[in-house]
Chains A and B, each alone.
Chain A
């Protein structure tokens, strides 16, 4: 396994293989700091799952990476572009990443298909017809029926909204896919389908996936590596087995609680 030895936050690999590279991240709100000296490298083509207790700063870290929350200190590089210092980052990055927010963040005044067409219209010069067809393709890739394409987000169920959001995130064939709690609020069967959909897409589209989750099944079934966020930094990283085997403190509690044992049995 190529991920077996990748058990440190900083990896000794060439820069072009690091899709996400965080160095010395510090995030403070007032006097309270939630990240300090945080380093993390994400390899091209892997699925990395970020776990951590409520309030550990997972969402803030995601927002820091995707350019929504400026870190107090530190450097964020995504696909070789410095997110916070490159003057053109805001124009170049949207073509390279797809982001699925926790509640989908679909534009509520547009139908599903229009939501998916937006990034294509914005960033490509393709004909309207082809954009429509591509959007339909992405919707089907995300596991939705085309019957839902003409519906408004408010007419969809929670699981369907997540799929529609995934279709929009995939619209531009991103290199990197960020998912914030992709399976939260879904029933176990739908969540399981989502995991296998993710694996399937990752294999055929050669994606790098960065996901935040609390779902132990997702960690087991979809993630190559797991990064644990506690004590203001990435305190443990590696394959699921490695992290479990070397669990200390919060991580141990996380995996050895009744829910952890049940999911990983």
Chain B
């Protein structure tokens, strides 16, 4: 739409508002001990913005004029008045009454009088008792609230984890109760479909490590050790960490949104009343699917990470493929297991965080968005923290 047309529309709207409207006016006449206000013009939601300040001023004048004890509002000359206009006029009455002045309305139009009576029949007797914090108190409150939220979240997460482990154990003891259809569906959508992205990302990571490593090691004349660097870092850390972070972003948000929207539409309540345990139906299949699929994804990640590194090493650094392979064999299988052991642990963490946040969605759209964000953030946070814990343990074990 061009500017002219826009201006035309604006003008139309203005004229639409102004067409029938006489601007609101309030005239007043002071007799010995009374003030008569004469209301003229149309008082509606669009026009009263012009007289808002005037009314406020009149109110303060009424309070100040101590010799006046009678306020009369004459509505017989007024145009159309809607609720907002009537409300504004009523404010004069209200002020007068609150300061022990006699106040009344003169009006022959019965409908209008009814409107005024209706507005004056409501009582604003409710006050919002919110305590406002400022300065250092506000800071203290924020710190306290954050700590409390963190603490509650931790307890409830552990609670949920315990519950899931219990259900999982029951499912293992009684495999007939595992819902295989959703398990396979989730294994496909969360695991199988993630293979391309996992491969592409780790491929690039592998290539980058090769490049960076070669540049630095070249200074010491130790270019060949690039292969060791690549092998160790991909096998131990990058493959599993990148996979876990992709799963946290890709699958956890899906888990929370799926379970959360089921919660919002009371589907989970319905399940419970039918005697279906939502943990068994929704959480356990997701946990199993991720437990199975994450190690497979990590395997793919390792291969494509090494492939990326190898490509750079062979074509850019001039290592022969045979040399690369023989060097890689020196790296040792331990590093592979060190990385692989972490996969199911991360899978479990990711699955239960996503499911828990989904179960905690309440009856509104806001909490769905909030919990989806929380699921991804918490999952990535926990993956990195647990990875650090693993590193410390391995350090102590000397592996």
Contacts and interface: CB of A to CB of B under 8 A. Distances in A.
Given A92-B16, A204-B118, A108 B83 contact: no
A173 B44 contact: yes
A136 B119 CA distance: 11
Contacts of A200: 118
Contacts of A152: 364
Interface in B169-185: none
Contact of B115 (A153, A154, A205): A205
A95 B128 CA distance: 30
A145 interface: yes
A265 interface: no
Given A126-B49, A173-B45, A204-B114, A154 B364 contact: yes
Interface in B268-292: none
B6 to A, nearest CB: 10
Chain B contact residues, majority secondary structure: helix
Contacts of A130: 52, 84, 88
A147 B128 CA distance: 8
A31 interface: no
Nearest to B117: A204
Contacts of B390: none
B45 A120 contact: yes
B124 to A, nearest CB: 7
B271 to A, nearest CB: 21
Interface in B93-130: 111, 114-115, 118-119, 122, 124-126, 128
Nearest to A146: B126
A126 B126 contact: no
A125 interface: yes
B52 to A, nearest CB: 6
Contacts of A88: 9, 12-13, 16
Given A92-B16, A125-B49, A204-B114, A109 B128 contact: no
A108 B365 contact: yes
A204 B122 contact: no
B320 interface: no
Contacts of B111: 203-204, 206
B45 A126 contact: yes
Nearest to A136: B124
Contacts of B44: 173
Contact of A91 (B13, B84, B88, B366): B13
B46 A124 contact: yes
B95 to A, nearest CB: 13
B124 A146 contact: yes
Contacts of A134: 83-84, 87
A215 to B, nearest CB: 24
Nearest to A205: B83
The 9 A-B residue pairs with the shortest CB-CB distance, nearest first, are A146-B126, A173-B82, A154-B364, A125-B49, A154-B363, A108-B364, A140-B122, A109-B366, A108-B365
7 contacts: A87-B5, A91-B13, A124-B46, A134-B83, A137-B83, A140-B122, A153-B364
